[in-house]
Structure 1
Amino acid sequence: MKILYIFLLICLGQSVFGQYINTVGSWYPSVSSSTISDAGLDYTSGLKVQSASSQTSISLSLEGGIFNILFNNWQVEVNRFDSNWNSNLSLEVRRTSNGSGTIFGSISGGTIFQEVTPNSKSFFNGVGNYSGIGIQYQISGLSVLIPADTYSTTVMFTLIDI
């Protein structure tokens, strides 16, 4: 009993020292000219270009006592910063895997495509440390009427301890 009591005091006495999120991956989509059936026509109606299912891998961790790692809830938010973006284009994101996490951890949400906007919004949430969470992207709104250019945006994921 004394050992358990000391262990609990150590766990409860430590606070979160930091939280870290790391992403790996980039995507350079292209649209094949074969999606146009005849000269003068637009792309196939409803054309959506998708990345690989784990185009980006996210790892996140909370540091501090074991209590913080096992029981603190966190949330990942997503938004984008446009370098050169056409307003007709829509970028969406979804979580395709849980990755691997702590033994008593959990992760939920974000498995359905949702639009990424300049305004930060909730993406998925959980408890515990995780690595290798798969993220997939999708672009829609493509048209031959959009001026030819190199469009780019940066997607930012933010880890919030809640």
Structure 2
Amino acid sequence: MMYLQKFITKNIFIVILIVFSQLQSQRTLTVGGTNWTVTIPSITEAGDNYAGTYESSTSQIILAASVPLLLTNGKVSMHYTANPVWNSNLILSAKRTGDGTTTCVACSISGGTTYTIIPPTADIELFRITAVLALASYSNIPVQLQLSGVSVTLPAAGYNSQIVFTISDL
């Protein structure tokens, strides 16, 4: 009887470890919002230049993210890709303008409250979410975009890019 009890306890512990390892990999990220079209005023005087820096609304992009329970983290990162044409003198940046909403009391969201330059192709961290004793689930996390480097020296064209957000462990 004692052997059977140890066997059952050991198997329950193994099942708990398997379930826990599956929860570790279940980070999710949903991206919403609208496309941002920068309105750049016309130059009316010879020798004038553009303002150079433009900002979107404070909630241009809305993120929802969840991180599994028990002392885990989620790192939300970003990069951009040309879609199809981009000028490397134009600089895209993003910042988190709020915490969003959550029901998790012991969870936290940190970083990303100042503009971070978005690189092409290689991810850079925007912010982190930490789950302590429960599933850290955040919705309505607002993100603002900034475009700088606009100048009369850039070739006239329509420039487009796509920002890619990812979530991973630390």
Larger gyration radius, structure 1 or structure 2:
2
TM-score class, shorter: 0.7 to 0.9
**Is the aligned partner of 1:108 residue 2:104?**
no
Give the counterpart letter for 1:48 in structure 2. Answer: T
- Per-residue deviation, 1:40: 3.9
Match of 1:29? 38
Q: Name the TM-score, length of structure 1 as normaliser.
A: 0.81
Q: Distance in 1 between matches of 2:164 and 2:18?
A: 33
Does the 8 Å CA contact 2:41/2:50 hold for their aligned counterparts?
Answer: no
Alignment of 1:14-93 (within 5 A): 14-15=19-20, 16=23, 18-25=26-33, 26-33=35-42, 36=43, 38-44=45-51, 47-62=52-67, 68-69=68-69, 71-83=71-83, 84-93=85-94
Q: Distance in 2 between matches of 1:60 and 1:18?
A: 11
The count of corresponding residues between Structure 1 and Structure 2 is 145
Match of 2:126? 123
Gaps of 5+ in 2: 1-12, 131-135
Give the counterpart letter for 2:111 in structure 1. Answer: G
- Backbone CA RMSD of aligned residues: 2.0
Q: Distance in 1 between matches of 2:117 and 2:38?
A: 17
Q: Distance in 2 between matches of 1:71 and 1:14?
A: 15
Q: Distance in 2 between matches of 1:94 and 1:125?
A: 13
Q: Distance in 1 between matches of 2:161 and 2:109?
A: 27
Gaps of 5+ in 1: 1-8, 63-67
Does the 8 Å CA contact 1:69/1:129 hold for their aligned counterparts?
Answer: no
The CA deviation string for residues 116-147 of structure 1, in whole angstroms up to 9 with x for no partner, is 01121111102221111000000011012212
